């Protein structure tokens, strides 16, 4: 099994609904995103996937989130904009253009992250 990983960042604001604590108030993060793609066999050039292609597809998804108030994005009007749901949102938007997608990890701080992957 082979895997590759790329990282990217975006900034946005959110607040958590139904949460009692500091995060119920509007606040922001500089999110770090890790994307892992995986395959059993390498392609004819010896790659899982071209890093540039993976970065390009990730950038398309993150453009929709960067410098936005996440709670106003249609997806997050129903799903609370937690790190877990942000990871699933990115995964769901990358799965079609990146069939070898394995997982998305969303870091909301240097010490806290959530990972989403489909079984």
> What would the pLDDT profile of 56-82 be if each residue is shown by its tens digit?
999 999 999 999 999 999 999 999 999
Q: At residue 119, does pLDDT exceed 90?
A: no
Q: At residue 48, does pLDDT exceed 90?
A: yes
Domain ranges of the chain: 2-116
HEC readout, 11-41? EEEECCCCCCCHHHCCEEEEEEEEEEEEECC
Q: What is the pTM of this model?
A: 0.96
Domain 2-116 has CATH 3.90.1200.10: no
Map residue 72 onto helix, strand or coil. Answer: helix
Residues with catalytic function: 23, 67, 108
**What are the pLDDT digits (tens) for 49-60?**
999 999 999 999
């Amino acid at each position: 099994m082979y895997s590759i990983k790329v990282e990217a960042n975006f900034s946005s604001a959110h607040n958590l609904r139904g949460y009692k604590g500091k995060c119920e108030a509007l606040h922001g993060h500089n999110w770090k995103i890790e994307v892992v793609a995986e395959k059993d066999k390498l392609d004819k050039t010896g790659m899982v996937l071209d890093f540039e292609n993976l970065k390009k597809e990730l950038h398309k998804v993150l453009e929709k989130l960067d410098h936005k108030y996440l709670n106003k994005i249609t997806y997050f009007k129903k799903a609370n904009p937690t790190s877990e749901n942000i990871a699933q949102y990115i995964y769901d938007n990358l799965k079609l253009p990146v069939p070898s997608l394995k997982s998305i990890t969303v870091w909301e701080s240097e010490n806290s992250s959530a990972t989403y992957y489909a079984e």
